[in-house]
Amino acid sequence: MKLVRFGEAGSETPGMLDADGTIRDLSGHVADITGATLDAATLDRLRGLDPASLPAVDGNVRLGAASAESASSCALAELFRSCGRNRC
């Protein structure tokens, strides 16, 4: 699962890349990609979504920073450690 933020700087929308690289809109499921979004329960819930069920986004959008808050770097580090244990 690859999470992204897309759109105008300062008002990015949360998204997910599907297997074909199409950005899918996650705003109906999370408000933004933050440290809270990266907790285990929320990540498990997002993993359970069928990307094809999410609205596709025009491929010509700006990709934003990975997280809405810089304090989430610890959560990102935990996510990467989890991916190393094949949980992604």
pLDDT in tens, 36-60: 888 999 999 999 999 999 999 987 8
As for how many domains the chain has, the answer is 1
CB distance 13 to 7 below 8 Å: yes
Provide the pLDDT confidence category of residue 66 given band limits of 50, 70 and 90: confident
Of 7, 30, 4, 31, the closest CA to residue 18 belongs to 4
What mean pLDDT comes out for the span 2-31? 94
Find the domain containing 34 and state its range.
2-84
What mean pLDDT comes out for the span 55-69? 85
Does the predicted model carry a pTM greater than 0.85?
no
